[in-house]
Amino acid sequence: MKHLFALLMHARQYRKDYVLGPVFKVIEAIFELIIPIVVSDMIDRGVNTGDTAYIRRCGVILAVLTLVGFSSTMVCQFLASRASQGTGTVLRSELFSHIMTLSHSQLDGFGTPTMISRVSGDINQVQTAAAMLIRLAVRAPFLAAGAIVMSATIDPLLSLILLVAAPLIYLSIIGVTKASRPLYREIQRHNDGITRITRENITGSRVIRAFSRQESERGRFAAVADASQQASVKVGVIAALLNPLTTVIMNLGVIAILGFGGLRVDSGALTQGQLVALINYINQILLALIVLANIINIFTRAEASAVRIQELLDTTSSISDPERPDDFDTSAPAVELRNVTFSYGSGDPVLEDLSFSVMPGQSIGIIGGTGSGKTSIANLIMRFWDVRPGMGEVRVMGADVKNVRAADLRSRIGLVPQKAELVSGTVRSNLLWGCPGASDEELISALKTAQAWDFVEAKDGLDTRVEMRGRNFSGGQRQRLTVARALAGKPDIVILDDSSSALDAATDSRLRKAIASDLSGSAIIIISQRVSSVRGCDSILALDDGRAAGIGSHEELYDSCPLYREICQSQNAAR
């Protein structure tokens, strides 16, 4: 359980609740242990002698003990709820914040479904275990041990029966726990698969219906769900053995106490009230150990979840900020790649020995076929991925991107990603991502530059609602809004990664002219498969499978680069 308790240490602000909660639960257990003694005394000195006044006094004592125990339980429940819910909140916040620091390669390695599962389902398991730790983890063993001690004070001989029954129950608990632990981990893995397939089918529902793949997807989902069901049934069968085993052992103990206790009552060595007290104590032990068995079951599942959470928390980002960052040099090239060779993981290089630069106020177009490495260049400039040591340098305004803070680097760059992504909120809240302190006038100016103000103004202006992922806008509108977001802060470098694929030629032309006019001092990098989008740039880089096939103006490349000329001819783009 070391991983579980290590996670609980993250919620240090609730340590008083973790200490005081069990204390109040122990107080309640102490009063519960006293009750059989009072009942025994009531039977022997009140019921057997007909002393009704003594019976009433014992009844008052029992009422007081119950009231105090109930009050202690309520305080413990409150502390347990506050601590467990608070722990879950702290862990979710820490895990989410940590996920945001991981590099793209690490995010891809874990996968979106498993990270969602860990932030939600796994932390819920830990949260439940935290509540049980406060409410029952101390009370159950204390009550079981206390019942054995109290029974020993009544009749040491008969208490030996409890001393035999308790270890047998403990061995049953340990056996079931060891058998079920690996199955819980297997269930979590299957749940990740269910989350992944569900997410793929919801986000790709149009594609699935377009190709009539509903039945095959149902089959794929059913296969994973069946595997999860089989693992759950296995662990359920094993866990179901626990309560019958413990009940059988304790019932045998009750039979033994009744048999031997009856003989000792007949011999006068034990009173009727004491025998009743012993039976109450063995029932307390039974209930406590059953609760303990369930707690261990919960802790076993929580430990499996804690291992998965800790694995994610222990993953250190492969891209870290330097202790002493370099300064930017505004007189240096805005972007420069020096002999860069780059590959994703251990695969073949997607960029090979690539070099180019662009000065402030200049523009460069990057064109090439699908998979030629165009977007990889944007990823390296933004430092979503790093070039391996000895495989070249990526410099922004004279500084190696590895030697500047990520936040400082990205504050200088306005990126329009290949896939237009918006978040729920308003147009204003989305644009403020590009410049948190921008005024409404600056945001409207960015919208006008991005050719988006007309359709935004026609709705509710900057207060226009943006639904999840911007689904209430067309593809072209989403692209123009992401362009406006990137331009809102008037960055030193603008990267347009195939940002006009959903725009008509006229709108694309107006957009490029507006950017060139309104951000004349910025370096513009246009990544596109359209010749019309890049032909007006100061220089054009033609990529062929990650290598520079040529670099120069449109006219120069048309004459000297067969690849570029072929692209132009395929798009009917004249010289």
Q: What is the pLDDT of residues 111-131, one digit of tens each?
A: 777 888 888 888 999 999 999
CA separation, residue 383 to residues 105, 186, 365, 376 (Å) = 12, 36, 20, 10
Token pair 């060891």 is at which residue? 178
Answer whether 115's CB lies under 8 Å from 122's CB: no
Q: Residue 342: in which H helix or E strand, if any?
A: strand 335-342
Helix (H, G, I), strand (E, B) or coil at 230: helix
Answer whether 396's CB lies under 8 Å from 338's CB: no
Q: Which CATH architecture has domain 324-412+491-575?
A: 3-Layer(aba) Sandwich (3.40)
Write the class of the CATH domain 2-313.
mainly alpha
Looking at residue 192, its pLDDT comes to: 78
SS (H, E, C) 310-335: HHHHCCCCCCCCCCCCCCCCCCCCCE
Q: Where are the domains of the chain?
A: 2-313, 324-412+491-575, 424-489
Looking at residue 524, its pLDDT comes to: 93
Looking at residue 542, its pLDDT comes to: 92
Looking at residue 366, its pLDDT comes to: 93
Contacts 24+ apart (CB under 8 A), 316-324: 317/101, 317/102, 317/103, 317/106, 318/102, 318/103, 318/105, 318/106, 318/386, 319/103, 319/383, 319/385, 319/386, 319/406, 321/405, 321/406, 322/402, 322/403, 322/404, 322/405
CA separation, residue 393 to residues 90, 326, 524 (Å) = 39, 14, 20
Check the CA dihedral 261-263-264-266 and report its sign.
positive
Q: Among the residues of 340-458, which ranges form H helices?
A: 374-381, 406-411, 427-431, 440-449, 453-457
Looking at residue 574, its pLDDT comes to: 65
Q: Which amino acid is at 292?
A: L
Q: Residue 108: in which H helix or E strand, if any?
A: helix 104-110
Looking at residue 241, its pLDDT comes to: 79
- CA torsion 117-121-127-128 (nearest 10°) is -150
As given in the structure block, the two tokens for residue 125 are 């398991």
pTM higher than 0.85 for the full model?
no
For the chain, how are helix, strand and coil distributed in percent, rounded to 5? 65, 10, 25
Cα-Cα end-to-end distance for the chain = 71
Phi, psi dihedrals of residue 493, rounded to the nearest 5°: -130, 135
Burial class (CB in 10 A: 0-12, 13-18, 19+), 284: buried
Answer whether 29's CB lies under 8 Å from 281's CB: no
Looking at residue 175, its pLDDT comes to: 81
> How many whole angstroms separate alpha carbon 526 and alpha carbon 423?
24
Looking at residue 279, its pLDDT comes to: 82
Q: Buried b vs exposed e over 15-27: b needs ≥16 C-beta within 10 Å?
A: eebbeebbebbbb
Q: Vertex 557, ends 551 and 560: CA angle to 5°?
A: 105
Answer whether 194's CB lies under 8 Å from 121's CB: no
Residues of the chain predicted below pLDDT 70: 573-575
Which distant-in-sequence residues (6+ apart) come within 8 Å of 205 by Cβ? none
* Residue 342, beta-bridge partner list: 351
Phi, psi dihedrals of residue 548, rounded to the nearest 5°: -75, 110
Looking at residue 525, its pLDDT comes to: 94
